[in-house]
């Protein structure tokens, strides 16, 4: 049994959160020939829950294939995907600053869900979990949205905000998992790791 896992994620938040659990990890990143972004395409009529779970499974398939292709040791592979859902509308990562402003205006003054799916491949077994949180945004002015967008923080974040960053000032209430909103739910991830034999 290896004493580490592969984390198939380019997200520094996920690496940081995994470190918090005290589990050693190595990054298993997509090579330039793999088109990781193309996995994140929403199917017609797909619900946010179905979408985030499907994308996570695809990410894990690709990562496990990558581990085999590179001839790496047979350690467990972990990956996750986070999406923001306003009702059935999926808000992924903004394409640019304008798109970020559009998303933030949608979130302003309402409650949305943040869904993070996690999956762990261990030998032939796959363990999966889903974390669902509710986040209530205060009504925020156009000026605040413009200032926040200009900071650059929304780029690369689902729903165009980071709870761990300056957007914390917009959030009136959350129910669920703070770490799940950041991208890796600690409770669910620890459970998956335990089922793969790690002591967390």
Ligand X SMILES: Cc1cn([C@H]2C[C@H](O)[C@@H](COP(=O)(O)OP(=O)(O)OP(=O)(O)O)O2)c(=O)[nH]c1=O
Interface contacts to ligand X, rule CB under 6 A: 9-11, 13-14, 80-82, 84, 93, 114, 156-159, 161-164, 181-183
| Nearer CB in complex with ligand X: 137/198 | 137
| Nearer CB in complex with ligand X: 134/197 | 134
Distance of alpha carbon 51 from alpha carbon 105, whole angstroms: 23
Q: How far is the CB of 12 from ligand X (least distance, A)?
A: 8
Q: Detail the DSSP E strand segments found in 60-140.
A: 77-86, 89-91, 111-122, 125-137
Nearby residues of 73 by Cβ (< 8 Å), 6 or more positions away:
2
| Nearer CB in complex with ligand X: 65/197 | 65
Distance of alpha carbon 200 from alpha carbon 196, whole angstroms: 11
The answer to whether 21 and 185 are in contact (CB under 8 A) is no
| Nearer CB in complex with ligand X: 100/181 | 181
Q: How far is the CB of 95 from ligand X (least distance, A)?
A: 13
Q: How far is the CB of 183 from ligand X (least distance, A)?
A: 3
| Nearer CB in complex with ligand X: 17/196 | 17
Q: How far is the CB of 107 from ligand X (least distance, A)?
A: 10
Distance of alpha carbon 192 from alpha carbon 126, whole angstroms: 9
Q: Is 133 helix (H, G, I), strand (E, B) or coil?
A: strand
Q: How far is the CB of 138 from ligand X (least distance, A)?
A: 15
Strand partners of residue 130? 117
Report which secondary-structure segment, H or E, holds 172.
strand 171-175
- Helix, strand, coil percentages for the chain (3-state, nearest 5): 40, 25, 35
List, by residue number, the catalytic residues.
81
Residue 47: alpha-carbon gap to chain centroid:
17
């Amino acid at each position: 049994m290896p004493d580490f896992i592969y984390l198939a994620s380019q997200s520094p938040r996920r690496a940081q959160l995994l470190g918090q659990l005290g589990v050693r990890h190595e990054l298993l990143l997509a090579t330039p020939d793999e088109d990781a972004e193309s996995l994140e395409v929403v199917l017609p009529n797909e619900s946010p829950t179905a979408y985030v779970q499907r994308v996570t499974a695809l990410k894990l398939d690709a990562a496990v294939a990558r581990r085999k292709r590179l001839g790496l040791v047979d350690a467990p592979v972990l990956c996750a995907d986070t999406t923001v859902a306003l009702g059935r509308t999926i808000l992924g990562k903004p394409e640019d600053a304008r798109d970020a402003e559009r998303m933030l205006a949608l979130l302003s003054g309402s409650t949305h869900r943040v869904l993070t799916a996690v999956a762990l491949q261990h030998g032939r077994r796959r363990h999966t979990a889903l974390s669902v949180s509710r986040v209530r945004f205060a009504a925020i002015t156009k000026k605040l949205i413009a200032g926040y967008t200009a900071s650059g923080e929304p780029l690369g974040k689902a729903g165009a905000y980071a709870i761990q960053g300056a957007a914390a000032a917009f959030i009136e209430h959350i129910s669920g998992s703070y770490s799940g909103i950041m991208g890796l739910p600690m409770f669910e991830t620890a459970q998956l790791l335990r089922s793969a034999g790690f002591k967390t």
